[in-house]
Chain A
Amino acid sequence: MKRVKVLTKYIFLAGISIVFLFPFAWMFLGAFKSNNEIWQTPYKLLPTHINLSEFIENLKAIKLYGYLLNSFIVGIAGTALILIVSSMFAYGVVFLNNRNMDRIFVIVIVTYMLPGAVTYVPSYVILAHMGLLNTLSGLVFSNLANVFAVFYFRQAFKKTSMDFVEAAKIDGANHRLILRHVILPLNKSAFSSVGLLTFIQLYNSYMWPSIMLTSQDKYLISQGLRQFFIQEGAYGMNWAQVMLASTITTLPILVILFAAQKWLMSAISQDSGIKF
Chain B
Amino acid sequence: MAIKMKKDTLARIGFTLPFLIPLLLFWIVPLFLAFGISFTDWDYISANIGFVGLDNYKDIFTDSDFLKALFNTFYFAVGTIPPTLLISFGLALLFENQFRGSKLFRSVIFSPWITPTVAVSMVWSWIYEPERGFANHLLGFFGIAPLSWLQDSTTAMLSVIIFTIWKSLGWTFLFYIGALAAVPKSTYEAAEIDGASRSRKLLHITIPLISPTTFFLFVVNLIQSIQVYDQIQIMTQGGPGGSTTTLLYMYYDKSFQNFKMGPANSIAMIILAIIVVLSLISNRISSRFVHYE
Contact = CB atoms under 8 A, between A and B. Distances in A.
**Do A and B associate with each other?**
yes
B275 A113 contact: yes
A246 B123 contact: yes
A261 B269 CA distance: 39
A100 to B, nearest CB: 8
B132 A142 contact: no
B191 interface: no
A34 B14 CA distance: 58
Contact of B116 (A116, A126, A207, A221): A221
Residue in A86, A124, A174 whose Cβ sees the most chain B Cβ within 10 Å: A124
A92 interface: yes
Interface string A199-237: 010011011000100000000011101100100000010
B53 interface: no
A243 interface: yes
Contacts of B240: none
B108 A26 contact: no
Interface string B97-108: 001010101111
B12 A17 contact: no
A92 B16 contact: yes
A101 interface: yes
A117 B20 contact: no
Contacts of A265: 103, 106-107, 110, 174
B125 A236 contact: yes
B30 A119 contact: yes
Given A121-B261, A121-B265, A254-B115, A86 B19 contact: yes
B178 interface: yes
A194 B125 CA distance: 32
A272 B179 CA distance: 8
Interface stretch (B63-71, B74-82, B153-161, B223-231): B223-231
B252 interface: yes
A111 interface: yes
A39 B269 CA distance: 47
B3 interface: no
Interface size, A (range): 35 or more
A269 B37 CA distance: 40
Given A142-B22, A246-B119, A26 B129 contact: no
B22 A144 contact: yes
B15 A16 contact: no
A233 B158 CA distance: 25
Contacts of A162: none
A204 B108 contact: no
Interface string A51-76: 00000000000000000000000000
B94 interface: yes
A43 B134 CA distance: 9
B85 interface: no
A50 interface: no
Contacts of A257: 107, 110-111, 114
Interface in A129-161: 141-145, 147, 150
Interface string B153-190: 00000000000001000010011011101100000000
Interface residues of B, number: 84
A104 B107 contact: no
B30 A126 contact: yes
Contacts of B139: none
A92 B15 contact: yes
B268 interface: yes
Contacts of A185: none
A222 B117 CA distance: 8
B114 A200 contact: yes
B133 to A, nearest CB: 10
B120 A250 contact: yes
B112 interface: yes
B28 interface: yes
Contacts of A239: 126, 129, 132
Given A92-B12, A207-B230, A269-B177, A249 B119 contact: yes
B19 A249 contact: no
A246 B175 contact: no
Contact of B22 (A98, A113, A141): A141
B29 interface: yes
Contacts of A221: 116
18 contacts: A6-B99, A9-B99, A13-B94, A21-B111, A23-B124, A24-B115, A113-B223, A114-B275, A117-B229, A117-B251, A144-B19, A225-B122, A236-B129, A239-B132, A243-B123, A246-B120, A250-B119, A271-B178
10 closest residue pairs by CB, A with B? A122-B30, A119-B30, A122-B33, A269-B178, A145-B23, A118-B268, A89-B19, A222-B118, A92-B15, A144-B22
Interface of B: 7-8, 11-12, 15-16, 18-20, 22-23, 25-31, 33-34, 37, 91, 94, 99, 101, 103, 105-112, 114-120, 122-127, 129, 132, 134, 137, 166, 171, 174-175, 177-179, 181-182, 213, 216, 223, 226-227, 229-230, 233-234, 248, 251-252, 255-256, 261, 264-265, 268-269, 271-272, 275-276, 279
